[in-house]
């Protein structure tokens, strides 16, 4: 069946089985085998608008997401203005309604201006449509403020999505405080800066009963703490990103495209993350898609902005690096990218899906990205699996140019 005929059946409402139901719809055309996957959902992206649209706009970010098979994303609140009031959130929502080709759900800030000094009007923001609350990029440094935020989020039935980072432990670091930093004279970010604040927050979760989600987990200690919290019955979930599962400090190069926060950690951290993925400690995979301008990423490890892009490469990288070698099943990977984040954040799937050519082999080239950002540590990496067409609602939101 031609791929566009399949798309018409989807949009027309005809029932189709796909991998999200532990079944697959394979479509053959010439020598290609296509597979229908549910639309992916990323609960941690940065679309930079309003305030920084030169890095990424909502329109370009949504197109990049669709290119990667994503049909729903949650956008973090480190914007200008910060969505810490109903007026600011509505301004962002107007841009989303106008420009997004997929479902985009905005976070609201926990604190005013993400400064960690005064809580935002969480009740009004929840009523205005915030998907959850986060001070991503900053973290809430004051334990009392975080406790109050958790109590209010609990009453509202909303998640707190925590960027765990004790800023008193950073000491100007920008790569992992490990062997690479020592060998190359770089300032390191210690693992404790992540897990110490996580440990604090888990104690607060136990006290408040808040639903709590841990962003971009990167250390072995964090995995241990989250595993123990789940065994104790706390309402805790977590995410990690493809780069933390596939790379570590041994892969670092003196290039800004290898700089992200948290940084690439030690090999034993990556191994602990993989174990956490296998045993279910890690609930989902998010990209932390964080585009910057070329100039902002051209200053080496020390001077470049934190952040890499990931929406357009996540599935091919994980399919090639984890599924094909037999580390995880395709069903498990799809669950981590689609069903699990939707369950946790209450995001509907509808008939959203994407058609993939699993036989396609190619090399990642940032010039092919639809994102305005180009910085990825995976440039030049050989992968397998190409998104041919993405359907959101009743619309084809991405189609591969080579399809006839």
Residue 396, domain member (yes or no): no
CA–CA gap between residue 261 and residue 251 (Å, rounded): 16
- Count the domains in the chain: 1
Q: Is residue 274 part of a domain?
A: yes
The answer to the question of residue 26 being in a domain is no
Q: At 75, which CATH number? A: 3.20.20.140
Task: Write down how long the chain is.
Answer: 404
Residue 207 vs residues 58, 154, 202: alpha-carbon distances, Å: 38, 11, 9
Would 358 be classed as within a structural domain?
no
pLDDT of residue 6: 66
Residue 87: inside a domain: yes
By the 8 A CB rule, do 133 and 101 touch?
A: no
- pLDDT tens digit at each of 404 positions of the chain: 456 666 666 666 665 555 444 444 555 454 456 899 999 999 999 999 999 999 999 999 999 999 999 999 999 999 999 999 999 999 999 999 999 999 999 999 999 999 999 999 999 999 999 999 999 999 999 999 999 999 999 999 999 999 999 999 999 999 999 999 999 999 999 999 999 999 999 999 999 999 999 999 999 999 999 999 999 999 999 999 999 999 999 999 999 999 999 999 999 999 999 999 999 999 999 999 999 999 999 999 999 999 999 999 999 999 999 999 999 999 999 999 999 999 999 999 998 999 999 999 999 999 999 999 999 999 999 999 999 999 999 899 999 974 43
Q: Active-site residue among 248, 288, 352, 357?
A: 288
**Residue 116 counted as domain residue:** yes
Q: What is the pLDDT of residue 404?
A: 38
Q: How many CB atoms lie within 10 A of CB 307?
A: 24
What gap in Å lies between CA 212 and CA 160, rounded to an integer? Answer: 5
288 has catalytic annotation: yes
* Within a domain: 209: yes
pLDDT at 93: 98
Domain carrying residue 255: 38-353
Query: Is 279 domain-assigned?
Result: yes
Number of neighbouring beta carbons within 10 Å of residue 232: 11
């Amino acid at each position: 069946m031609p791929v566009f005929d399949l798309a018409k059946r989807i949009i027309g409402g005809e029932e189709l089985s796909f991998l999200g139901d532990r079944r697959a719809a394979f479509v053959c055309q010439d020598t290609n085998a296509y597979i229908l996957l549910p639309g992916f959902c990323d609960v941690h992206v940065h679309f930079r608008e309003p305030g920084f649209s030169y890095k990424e706009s909502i329109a370009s970010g949504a197109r990049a997401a669709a290119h990667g098979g994503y049909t729903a994303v949650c956008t973090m609140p480190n914007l200008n203005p910060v969505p810490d009031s109903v007026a600011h959130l509505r301004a962002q929502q107007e841009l989303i309604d106008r420009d997004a080709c997929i479902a985009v759900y905005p976070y609201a800030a926990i604190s005013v201006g993400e400064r960690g000094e005064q809580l935002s009007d969480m009740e009004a923001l929840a009523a205005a449509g915030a998907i959850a609350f986060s001070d991503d990029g900053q973290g809430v440094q004051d334990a009392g403020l975080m406790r109050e935020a958790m109590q209010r989020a609990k009453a509202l039935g909303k998640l707190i999505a925590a960027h765990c980072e004790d800023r008193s432990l950073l000491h100007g670091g920008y790569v992992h405080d490990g062997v690479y930093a020592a060998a190359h004279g770089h300032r390191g970010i210690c693992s404790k800066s992540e897990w110490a604040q996580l440990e604090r927050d888990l104690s607060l979760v136990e006290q408040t009963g808040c639903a709590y989600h841990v962003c971009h987990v990167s250390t072995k200690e964090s995995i241990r703490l989250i595993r123990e919290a789940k065994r104790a019955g706390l309402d805790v979930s977590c995410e990690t990103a493809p780069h933390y599962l596939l790379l570590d400090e041994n892969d670092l190069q003196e290039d800004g495209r290898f700089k992200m926060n948290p940084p690439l950690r030690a090999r034993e951290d990556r191994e602990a993350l993989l174990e956490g993925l296998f045993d279910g400690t890690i609930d989902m995979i998010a990209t932390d898609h964080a585009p910057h301008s070329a100039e902002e990423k051209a200053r080496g490890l020390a001077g470049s902005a934190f952040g890499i892009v990931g929406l357009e490469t996540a599935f091919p990288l994980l399919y090639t690096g984890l599924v094909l070698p037999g580390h995880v099943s395709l069903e498990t990977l799809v669950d981590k990218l689609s069903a699990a984040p939707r369950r946790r954040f209450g995001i509907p799937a509808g008939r959203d899906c994407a058609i993939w050519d699993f036989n396609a082999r190619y090399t990642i080239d940032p010039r092919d990205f639809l994102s305005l950002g180009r910085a990825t540590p995976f440039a030049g990496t050989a992968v397998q699996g190409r998104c041919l067409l993405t359907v959101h609602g009743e619309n084809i939101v991405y189609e591969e140019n080579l399809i006839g």
